[in-house]
């Protein structure tokens, strides 16, 4: 048939290339899945964290990740996460902290463009 090759018709050198490409594709897929599960920080959020002296420990990042998982399960898109006297605006789909606000800046602050809020301890 034209356009269809059976396995026994593929030259060995092409089979090996396809096999290594398949492994490469699997690694890229795994890396993508890993990236999809990681918490990211926008450039703006990184600047705010530095300016406001906010330092996150691995256990705190894990709690934020858990909150993102919960928000995602409920269909949230952009969430306010309140945690340890700090507010984070997070794009849930991209798992990206868009900005961070410390307790000193929270007074009289109005949050817009969010569809959900989570308070975690």
Domain spans of the chain, in order of start: 9-38, 39-120
pLDDT band at 19 (very low <50, low <70, confident <90, very high): very low
What pLDDT shows up at residue 3? 42
What pLDDT shows up at residue 67? 97
Please compute the mean of the pLDDT values over residues 36-46 and round it to a whole number: 89
Calpha distance 38→45 (Å, rounded)? 15
Please compute the mean of the pLDDT values over residues 14-37 and round it to a whole number: 53
Q: Is 97 helix (H, G, I), strand (E, B) or coil?
A: strand
Residue 4 is given by DSSP the state -
On the question of pLDDT at 29 being above 70, the answer is no
pTM greater than 0.85: no
């Amino acid at each position: 048939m034209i356009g269809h090759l059976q396995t026994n018709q593929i030259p060995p050198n092409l089979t090996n290339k396809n096999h290594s490409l398949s492994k490469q594709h699997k690694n890229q897929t795994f890396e993508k899945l890993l990236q999809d599960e990681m918490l990211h920080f926008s450039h703006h959020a990184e600047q705010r964290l530095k300016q406001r002296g906010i330092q996150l420990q691995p256990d705190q990042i894990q709690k934020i990740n858990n909150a993102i998982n919960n928000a995602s399960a409920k269909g949230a898109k952009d969430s306010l996460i309140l945690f340890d006297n700090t507010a984070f605006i997070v794009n849930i789909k991209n798992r990206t902290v868009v900005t961070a606000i410390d307790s000193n800046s929270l007074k009289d602050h109005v949050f817009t463009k969010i569809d959900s809020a989570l308070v975690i301890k």
